[in-house]
Each structure stands twice: as structure tokens, then as C-alpha cells.
Structure 1
Amino acid sequence: MSIEAANETDVEVDLDELIECAGYVLAELHVHPDADLFVRIVDEAAMETLHVQWMDLPGPTDVMSFPMDELRPGRPDQVSEEGILGDLVLCPTVAAKQAREAGHTTDEELLLLTVHGILHLLGFDHAEPQERKEMFDLQRTLLLTFLARRPAAPAVRITPPSGE
């Protein structure tokens, strides 16, 4: 699987973790191992330009997906067709605002948006209630199973000062 990422902002973003998350999602959805994905991190001005140009909506948004070959998920017994999945564009400053409101970290929000955007690239949508339920249930499962695979933070051991 070819997953590339570029951070075009001054915001520090863990590209390796986003790539790892994307790889996990694509593998879990049985996407062809030679599929290509590009993840682009942009500032609010660039995201607003894309949002207006492609969605005719004002202001920046958190994530946009630009599918190329209209790939779809495979099955456990058969991977999807080979091709270019497309581009995923994330805006970390919008993600940071959303993360604060949701009570989690910006890194976690960016991972959520990565999963969400990949599902859109694979044809999932949330316009209708049943589509929304299917997409958001799958998004939650993929994100939680990815996060569960991360190594646990080392336990903090507090040692009292000598003499106590």
C-alpha cells in the first residue's frame, strides 16, 4: 500500500501515526495492497479555498476527500481492485477546535478524521439515516480498534524522597 503524507502547515502533526492509521483502515477494509492514498495537511485558508471550490460552502472544514478510481472495500476472501484511492485533506486547526469541544486530543481528532475521510473515499456517506448509522458505526469500530493497538503509556511510578 502506498500512503504518502505532506504537512503544508506550521502545526506539528504526527504524519507517521496518520499513515499507520490509514494503513490499518485500508487493510481492515480489504483494500488492494497496491492502492495509493495521499494525505495532505493544510491551513485554514487552503481548506477554505477547497471547501468553496468543491462544495460551494463558506469557511474551512475539518476534512475533505477527493476519490480518484472509485475503489470500494473488498471482502475477507477478496481484496478490492487495484488503483488510486485518492486524496485526503485535513485541517489541524479546525480539528483542534473540534477536539477541545469533544474533550479529546487534536491527535485523536485527526485520527478520527482520517478514518472518516477514508470511508468517504471508499464510497461511504452519511446523508441518509441508515447510511449515517452504517458509516459512523464502522468509523467508531475502526478507530477504537486502531487505538487499542497502540502501546499503553508507561506507568508512572512516584518514588517518595529519601528519608520518608
Structure 2
Amino acid sequence: MIDVELNDEGQFLSSEQLQLVKDVLNHAAQEVSLSQQSEVSVTFTTEEDIHELNREHRGIDRPTDVLSFALNDETSDFDPTFHEELGLPNLLGDIVISVPHVERQAADYGHSFERELAFLVVHGFLHLLGYDHMNEEEEKQMFTKQEEILQSYGLGRSES
């Protein structure tokens, strides 16, 4: 089980779409056998805001579709066993999604807004777990896992 904090101050998404995000994240957590109670936040934002975050945190001066900020990556001093010993959830980190990108990419790829939203949520979630796509091998592993999760949830490429 994963606790999901949703931040949609711009009221971009419907209550059904927000529930989809929670459901997809819980499904993804099961699919990757996340055994520990965990927590993640997901923020939905504008293209301008994600552009600023991308520039500030990654040094890339353009908007992007999704950003992930892991709290327990190998470069941090975070100790997930500390939370487990205290009975607290494992704080995975934050996912930030540009809603205009969801809309545009759904149209570009010819599938539903919900499928693209779920794709970006799973993509961000896998980054929080340490998956990456910096080289061909990593990309294949990550994208295969993404598609497996979406397919088993019912939002595979042919099901949207």
C-alpha cells in the first residue's frame, strides 16, 4: 500500500482522474513488490512552473512532462530502515507532472488523457525507485517495466 498526496491547486484534474493516479500508483507498488508502507506526493502543474523546476534542479532550460525528486537515492543520507523501525512510511519522494504536456502528448500519441497521465505517473514512480533511462539498457528495462504495469492495470497501448 502506498499513501499518495495529491497537489492539484490549479484544479486541472477531475476527481476521477485524481483517483486514477492513486489507483495506478498502488497498482505499480504491487507490481514492483514494494513491501514497505510508502508515501509519495504528486503535483500537477503548468508548463511554466515545470520549466522553472527543470531549469533550477536539472540545469535544463525547457519544460518537460514529468520530474521526479527521490528522497532516498544513492546520493542522499536518507536511511529508509529508520522509518520502518519506527513504523513510519518510507518517503519515496515527489513527482511533478505538467498537465499541458499530458494533454499534448495524449493527442500526439493518439491515446486518452488518462493513459498518458498514468504513463507519466508510472514513469515518475519508477524514477523514485531508482529506475533510469540514461543508456539503452536502462531505458529498455525501465520502459518495459512501465508498459508491463500499464498493461496489467488495463491501460496498455492498445487498451487506451
| TM-score, normalised relative to structure 1 | 0.79
User: Max radius of gyration: which structure?
Assistant: 1
Give identity over the alignment, percent.
29
Give the distance between the partners of 1:68 and 1:32, measured in 2 at CA.
Answer: 17
1:19 has 2:27 as partner? no
Superposition pairs of residues 20-39 of structure 1, within 5 angstroms: 20-39=23-42
Per-residue deviation, 1:130: 0.9
Structure 1 residue 95: Cα displacement: 1.4
Aligned to 1:111: 118
Q: What is the SS of the residue equivalent to 2:117?
A: helix
Which whole-Å deviations, capped at 9, do the CAs of 1:124-149 have from their partners, x for residues lacking one? 1111111111111111010111126x
Partner of 1:158: none
2:147 to 132, 135, 140: 140
In structure 1, what is the equivalent of residue 87 of structure 2? none
Check whether the contact 1:37–1:87 (CA below 8 A) recurs between aligned residues.
yes
Contact 2:51 2:62 (C-alpha < 8 Å) held by counterparts: yes
* Mapping of residues 1-164 of structure 1, within 5 Å: 1-13=2-14, 14-70=17-73, 82=84, 83-147=90-154
Distance 2:11 2:30 in 1: 30
Any idea what the Cα deviations from partners look like across 1:97-138, whole Å, max 9, x if unmatched? 111110011221010001111111100111111111111111
Listed one character per residue, the Cα deviations across residues 66-102 of structure 1 (whole Å, up to 9, x for unaligned) are 000239xxxxxxxx96421100111111111111110
Mapped contact 1:65–1:120 kept (Cα < 8 A): yes
Q: How far apart are the structure 1 equivalents of 2:124 and 2:64? A: 12
Determine the C-alpha separation between the residues in 1 that align with 2:123 and 2:98: 13
Letter in structure 2 aligned against 1:41: F
DSSP-derived class of the 1:36 partner: strand
Deviation, structure 1 residue 6 = 1.4
Q: CA deviation at 1:34?
A: 1.6
Partner Cα distance (1:32, 1:54) in 2:
30
Q: Distance in 2 between matches of 1:108 and 1:97?
A: 12
TM-score (norm 2): 0.81
Contact 1:92–1:106 (Cα < 8 Å) also in 2:
no
Instruction: State the alpha-carbon separation in 1 of the partners of residues 100 and 11 from structure 2.
Output: 10
Number of equivalenced pairs: 142
Conserved in 1, the CA contact under 8 Å of 2:12 and 2:44? no
Matched to 1:21, the amino acid is V
Question: Which structure dedicates a bigger proportion of its chain to helix?
Answer: 2
